[in-house]
Structure 1
Amino acid sequence: MKFLIAGYGSIGRRHLRNLQALGEHDIVLYRSRRSTLPEDEIAGLPVETDLNAALAHQPDAVIVSNPTALHLDVAIPAAEKGCAILLEKPIAHDLSRLPLLRAAIQRGGARLLVGFQFRFHPTLRLAASLLAEGAIGRVTSVRAHWGEYLPGWHPWEDYRQGYAARTDLGGGVILTLCHPFDYLRWLLGDYSVDWATGGTLGLELEVEDSAEIGLRFLRGAAGTLHLDYLQRPPTHTLEVIGTEGTLRWNNAEASLGLFRAEANEWQIFQAPEGFERNWLFLDEMRHFLAVAR
């Protein structure tokens, strides 16, 4: 298979490394500007700065890893050509061009996956199994929390210039840290947003750095989701409360706690020995390769 990676920031670089680790080496890069990342690992790879020239290489699969506001500039023409597409989250910064994407997928016969890699987290997958079997009874309430200090993400660059901090590139904490919106739906079913509040509360940004969001699940549970660019140390957790127990997931520890009311004790489950964050992206890529083929 031939791959086109559109965007060579930190996530594009990760996808390149993972493709190569999985034995894929027929790769073309499309980048619109010079990256601050090292150039040595792309030596010898075709690099295009024009999208038409990049698509002229006739890739079988396209990985869209440029800034959010530019996603559909690549995804729509790639879909028209029938490519398999791995589209980094979120799909776009607004909904206006989603009908064009849908129509392009239908015309081209493309397949598209969105890069929500937390669906491949081993302890979240265990949580999904436990919820499916009713281990904590009927779910009544949910709390997801993700706070992470934005200037610490890429300390070698001005955080105010990155996509996560800029309106024109589709930034803001709600879009950038949108993984919980996806895994809550995966784990607990569909929901609606009852209320939301927040704003720019702690950093010099033109986008929101904090948000508190109230959710109502169709199965009856109430939920809250907290997101921020401010918290130190970083914290990413999930608590699900049911009529017969509680689940507590901690991303930093890759752990899942299960409290069964009948037993009146906690069980703690850990990710497999040697687990590290890139496993999620590798498993996501394996899944994409299976779909693309």
Structure 2
Amino acid sequence: MKKFLICGLGSIGQRHVRMIQTVTKGKAEIAAYRSRKLDIVISDKLEATFNQKPEEHYGLTVFDSMETALAWKPDAVFVTNPISMHVATATAAAESGAHVFIEKPLDCTDVGVANLIRAVSKKGVACMVGYQQRYHPGYLRIKQLLDEGALGSLISADLHFGEWLPGMHPYEDYRESHAARKDQGGGVILCLSHEIDMAYWLFGKPRSVYAQGGHLSDLELDVEDTAEIFLSCDNAGREFPVHVHLDFLQVPPRRYIHIVGDKGSLVFDYRANRLEVNLLATRVPEVTLYDTFQRNDMFLQEVADFISSGDKGKKPPIPLEEGVDVLNICLAAKRSLESGKKEVIV
């Protein structure tokens, strides 16, 4: 791939520009399709420089419409606009013959998903969904332990992520952000869906979903700010519970995963980059600190893998069908939150 189109130059769009420039060693041609055209440059640490055009800062060509952008014939399109626009944008990109990278989640409804699947299949393009947490070495070690059966038969799992929404992007009014707006696909279930994807990746597609929560705080938004999600997962033919907690409220942020099996347990604190594994056979804690880990490492690797998949004609590590599965789990949780009933996953 040589030509890249970025659809949306918010914080994640700008991060992907930097990742592409790094992975391609500055040899890529990068353009952007912009609609809001805010004059703000956002760094890896989410520090903002106002009254500066990102296209000038990064040296990008800018298009005013999707039609003219696709007429430029990009090799790949990065979909980094509001969640509610993901599938429509990705479908147009795939139909043009471009490889497609879609930021998480896939969308906020399943409308148009079948058309996207057909377009990707017909054109034979790579399509990857951006659940970069899978690249963290701590989660990779957890995946390895589970695949090896180190914890034995799984008994329970708890995934927890909470962060105060106004502090997530301090350079903008949270009330205007997509995370706070139903019309743009906001709410914790979709915006914090990394934990739902992690449960799916580690434990497979659940049999059913039940959720409680809603808009429980004084935050000014029209979406849920808290969700307690209960997934009924399968372990060697036995059902076991997985709990996912999500909120827009915690200061400081808190993020961890705790898994219990009949041969041991583990706890991974994402904020502290600390994994502790306790096996009954040894009774000696195995503690790993990921001191040298940098958050950008995950984004760099996922972009490198996406580019490699497109260039080599291989399925990407986080393919479209897995993004569809995670979206369906999220939508089932949304429905359960509204109805108060358990949703069966087909």
- Of 200, 211, 218, the residue aligned with 2:234 is 218
Does residue 57 in structure 1 map to residue 90 in structure 2?
A: no
Equivalent residue of 1:183, what SS? helix
Equivalent residue of 1:221, what SS? strand
Q: Give the conservation status (yes or no) of the 8 Å contact 1:8–1:65.
A: yes
Call closer, same or farther: CA 1:93–1:186 in 2, change over 3 Å: same
Does residue 117 in structure 1 map to residue 109 in structure 2?
A: no
Structure 2 counterpart of 1:33, which letter? Answer: R
Structure 1 vs Structure 2: percent identity of aligned residues? 40
- Of 261, 278, 288, the residue aligned with 1:242 is 261
Deviations 1:211-268 (A, max 9, x none): 0011110222211110000011101100010001101111101221100112212111
1:68 to partner: Cα distance: 0.2
Who is 1:287 aligned against?
305
1:36 to partner: Cα distance: 4.6
4+ runs of 1 displaced by more than 3 Å? none
Correspondence list, 1:144-183, <5 A: 144-183=159-198
Q: Unaligned stretches of 5+ in structure 1?
A: none
Deviations 1:135-189 (A, max 9, x none): 1111110000000000001122210100011011111110000011111111122
Who is 1:33 aligned against?
36
Who is 2:89 aligned against?
74
Equivalent residue of 2:93, what SS? helix
1:88 to partner: Cα distance: 0.5
Q: Give the conservation status (yes or no) of the 8 Å contact 1:81–1:110.
A: no
1:204 to partner: Cα distance: 1.5
Who is 1:10 aligned against?
11
Instruction: Give the count of matched residue pairs.
Output: 292
1:40 to partner: Cα distance: 5.1
Q: Unaligned stretches of 5+ in structure 2?
A: 42-51, 312-346
TM-score (norm 1): 0.96
TM-score (norm 2): 0.82
Who is 1:21 aligned against?
22
Does residue 270 in structure 1 map to residue 289 in structure 2?
A: yes
1:195 to partner: Cα distance: 1.4
Correspondence list, 1:101-140, <5 A: 101-140=116-155
Who is 2:246 aligned against?
227
